[in-house]
Amino acid sequence: MRRADERTVRYEPTSVKDLLVEMKDTAELLIDLSYSAVLHGSPTVAHEVVELEHRMDALQMQARMSLMLAARNPNEAETLAPVLGVIAAADKVADAAGDIAKIVTEEIGLPDAMRGALSAGVETLVRGTVSADSAYAGRSLDAIDLESATGVRVIAIRRDEDWILNPGPTTRLKAGDVTLLRGPEAGVAEVYPELSGEPFDPEPPAEPAIDDLERAVDSIVLMKNLSELAVDLAYGSVLFDNEELAEEVSNLEIEVDALQSRFEAWTLRAAAEADDPVSLRGLIHLGVATEEISDAALAITEGVRRDLDVHPVVEMAVQESDEIITRTIVAEGSDLDGTAVADGVPATDISTSVLAVRRPDEGWLVGPDIDTTLRAGDVIIAKGTRTSAEEFDALAA
């Protein structure tokens, strides 16, 4: 018997390429939203996670139907099998994001120290509805130019039941649009009232009172950063058929597993000192879901790791990508050896952003606030245009 809340999905002649691109964008947005819902204890943002999770379910079903119709012989079935794995893994990411949002929707709760640590590790992300009298209503993002003036980006828009993911400069905001804004807290505090007509009032972060809890919180923040990076790299490895990126996803998944073991131990020790051990249940819930995201990222790379040919539909999706993710090793004496990196941007004329650095003797340095000096042996995960990626590789050689 069909449940009343179950949404019917029927086959539509939709491009598998377009479905793959939308699933990728949706999975990445779901990760952002779910952690932000927990960080701000926001039922409204958690609601958007649930809505996007429903959207992902529909995308997955449509993609499966299209793939079943596309496989006309054993050879095509072999090349399409990894694509089916990518689709299933994207849905797994969505499920994990939904589990994270349940910390808010089901009022599982989270220690205040967790929110304090998360706020230091992520940009501010808020949900705001464009008011009828907003100065932004009816204007394009290019005309508003929020990012240049405030550092705030509109990363998605929900207009009635439709989603606009990665809105471009020509996208116009309309009154009633539900927007998702991400950027530095000071910028969001300036933009949010202008957009929604409501004040922006973030809660001050709390300090942890238990040493073991502080260690557990630090571990989960690092797990979050590594899992997000793993998803980025996993899609990059598939879209560009890159075994080196797939290998880094495997390295990240191993690191997240090790972190989860330490996280569980510190959480159990903290429970012995906590006045209310049940209050740590949300922290454990978050740890399990975060580890599942890294598992899903590894599953996305299965076709690349098994050296299966990339189906043309994936190659078509690549052609629509302006930016690519690269893995570069800094050679001794190269131009990058000794180059400083601040806020993710290397001190060169190359328009490439460093997402992470894996240092043989120190492990991973991850996040938008990387502040380090590159040295020989560093493995750099970076994002940029194809041209800048080639120039960046040349500097590392």
The domain that holds 177 is classified in CATH as 3.30.70.1450
User: What is the structure's pLDDT at 303?
Assistant: 83
Helices 16-40, 312-319: axis angle to 10 degrees equals 60
Which run of H or E residues covers position 371?
strand 371-373
Mark which of 286, 316, 346 sits at the end of a domain: 316
Claim to verify: residue 376 and residue 272 sit in the same structural domain:
no
Which domain does 137 fall in, by range?
Answer: 125-196
Contact 17, 313 (CB under 8 A): yes
- The whole-angstrom separation of Cα 189 and Cα 191 is 6
162 and 69 belong to one structural domain: no
The total domain count for the chain is 3
Entry pTM: 0.70
| Per-residue model confidence (pLDDT) at position 204 | 57
DSSP state, residue 277: G
Is 56 within the bounds of a domain? Answer: yes
Note whether 231 and 292 are within 8 A (CB). Answer: no
State the CATH number of the domain containing residue 52: 1.20.58.220
Number of other residues whose CB lies within 10 A of the CB of residue 240 = 18
Predicted pLDDT of residue 2: 37
Query: What values do phi and psi take at 289, rounded to 5?
Result: -65, -40
- Edge-to-edge strand ranges of the sheet holding 323-329: 323-329, 379-385, 352-359, 363-366
Domain endpoint, select from 268, 284, 316: 316
> Are 252 and 271 within one domain?
yes
Residue 334 and residue 383 in one domain: yes
Consecutive sets of 10 residues in the chain, 397 residues long: mean pLDDT of each? Answer: 48 71 84 82 85 88 80 72 83 91 82 58 76 92 83 86 83 92 84 90 56 71 85 80 85 89 82 73 85 91 78 58 74 87 74 79 71 85 76 81
The answer to whether residue 80 is domain-embedded is: yes
Sign of CA dihedral 107, 112, 116, 117: negative
Tell me whether residue 8 is in a domain.
no
Pair of tokens at residue 73: 């012989």
Per-residue CA distances from 389 to 15, 220, 328, 330, 345 (Å): 29, 31, 9, 14, 13
Which pLDDT value is given to residue 309? Answer: 66
**Which of 135, 167, 196 lies at the terminal end of a domain, its last residue?**
196
* pLDDT of amino acid 97: 92
Among 228, 199, 210, 355, smallest CA distance to 290 is for: 228
Q: What is the pLDDT of residue 187?
A: 86
* 279 burial level (CB within 10 Å; 0-12, 13-18, 19+): middle
Do 312 and 334 share a structural domain? no
Q: Are residues 139 and 169 in the same domain?
A: yes
DSSP for 72-121? Answer: -SHHHHHHHHHHHHHHHHHHHHHHHHHHHHHHHHTT----HHHHHHHHHH
